[in-house]
Structure 1
Amino acid sequence: MTLTQQDAVPRAPGVPPPVIEFRQAGLTYPGPPPVPAFRPCDLMIRRGEFVSVVGPSGSGKSTFLNIAGLLDAPTHGSYLLDGIDTGALRDADRTALRGRRIGFVFQSFHLLPHRSSQENVVLGMTYNGVARAERSARARDALVRVGLGHRLNALPTRLSGGERQRVAIARAVACRPSLLLCDEPTGNLDTRNAEAVLELLDELHADGMTVVVITHDPLVAGRGARTVAIRDGVLHEDRESTA
């Protein structure tokens, strides 16, 4: 199966497939003894949603991130990203799909300290299918979008924590992904910078971006329109924050 082939599940004409669709997707690490890290479950996240995934440490949030981010393949069931059955792809095609369709934002900013803001964003597009001639302009546009148009040439060492996370978000959205997958995006920030980053995520969501935030912080989780809770590897819908 190639990246251009969609799954054969029927849907109404003109209705896009869900961005994330788990069909009894789960992951068990091999033993002995086998360890069920994420129990098989169904989950659907549609285009343009803002979903919070909450749970205590060790609950299975990281495993969810690895499956949703195409870092690990489920050992049970299937995972469809934008209607593409990821289990039917070769490893190289999965890597290419991840680069084109998913933007990652982590608690640690993962910026190269001796490269400017714009260079860090450009480097993030190197393996994501963006033509070389387009990268600088896209990086500049992404940094303007996150409010850092005046900091294009600044090194990360000259940026505040909040600004560094904005560069990381610019890097994540520069490839125009279907999904922005955020893992504890405010974990290294003070209250003021954390609020600024959350407001930016709100703005991206308002512009149509599908945002999934994985967090243990109830204040961060409260920004989502939906909350999905994970406890002991079991995922279920939870309208109340349970972090």
Structure 2
Amino acid sequence: MRLPLARRPVHAAPDADTPVIEFRGVGLTYPGPPPVEALRPCDLTVRRGEFLTMVGPSGSGKSTFLNVAGLLDTPTSGRYLLDGIDTGRLPDHARTALRGRRIGFVFQAFHLLPHRSALENVTLAMLYTSVPRAERLTRAREALRQVGLGHRADALPGRLSGGERQRVAIARALVGRPSLLLCDEPTGNLDSANAGSVLSLLDRLHTAGMTVMVITHDSEVAARGRRTVAVRDGALSEQVTS
């Protein structure tokens, strides 16, 4: 018997036509006093293979949205389906497992271990996964080749440029083969040349079928998306469709 999407186990493969992200009246209010409505109830669908960007000023609710979409915070209203799985029905350990399997995170700070090579940094992302030990190095090398750094596998982060370090961070996010690449200001620490290189990489990943969401305050970065959503005072609104 086929299980309804919302009841499928976290390890079940998603259907191609199932949205990666589906918010149905999702909101988050922090308790007071007074209570703070950090994310107003909203609807949002991100389909497989989309490249969506989110813009908004500091304090607008971008970080709250990222925390909810990334399963770091639990919404206080509505339903959030990730790959068709109703995340609100999951216990904490299952939410953690779902996050690890389905979401690859890329942050402004690279968070690389300085005394570990690029290959080791990527491999360590699989330490607490079900990927067999013998397969981890193969996957890590593949991920580094995917971001154009196969030749730098043995380099320490201190020997890499800022753009290369962010590419290692992207490889680390990709190595688990997630459904969604969730990027928070991925070019914020980079000069214009390195930023352009990283954005071109995200374009290529999207062209290859990866679902990409970039949260940014930079209008030029936002313009790289095929859709842009604006957030202000905790409210989401579709800004651009191209």
1:21–1:45 Cα contact (<8 Å) kept: yes
**Aligned counterpart, 2:141:** 140
Shift of 1:133: 1.6
1:49 to 2:50 alignment: yes
Q: Which amino acid aligns with 2:50?
A: E
- Using the size of structure 2 for normalisation, the TM-score is 0.94
Post-superposition Cα deviations, 1:184-243, rounded to whole Å, max 9, x if no partner, equal 000000000000000000000000000000000001000000000000000010118xxx
Unpaired segments ≥5 residues, structure 1: 9-13
2:16–2:48 Cα contact (<8 Å) kept: no
- Using the size of structure 1 for normalisation, the TM-score is 0.93
Shift of 1:92: 0.3
1:185 to 2:186 alignment: yes
1:233 to 2:234 alignment: yes
1:181–1:212 Cα contact (<8 Å) kept: yes
Shift of 1:126: 1.3
Unpaired segments ≥5 residues, structure 2: 8-14
Shift of 1:6: 2.6
Number of matched pairs? 234
Secondary structure of the structure 2 residue equivalent to 1:7 = helix
Q: Which amino acid aligns with 2:118?
A: S
1:100–1:129 Cα contact (<8 Å) kept: no
What root-mean-square deviation, in Å, do the aligned CA atoms of Structure 1 and Structure 2 show?
1.6
**Aligned counterpart, 1:151:** 152
**Aligned counterpart, 1:39:** 40
Shift of 1:17: 1.1
Secondary structure of the structure 2 residue equivalent to 1:237 = strand
1:116–1:153 Cα contact (<8 Å) kept: yes
How far apart, in 1, do the equivalents of 2:222 and 2:156 lie?
Answer: 31
How far apart, in 1, do the equivalents of 2:83 and 2:92 lie?
Answer: 17
1:21 to 2:22 alignment: yes
Shift of 1:7: 1.5
Distance 1:42 1:159, change over 3 A: same
Shift of 1:16: 2.3
Q: Which amino acid aligns with 2:59?
A: G
**Aligned counterpart, 2:12:** none
Secondary structure of the structure 2 residue equivalent to 1:189 = coil
**Aligned counterpart, 2:80:** 79
**Aligned counterpart, 1:113:** 114
Secondary structure of the structure 1 residue equivalent to 2:5 = coil
Shift of 1:128: 3.1
How far apart, in 2, do the equivalents of 1:127 and 1:19 lie?
Answer: 23
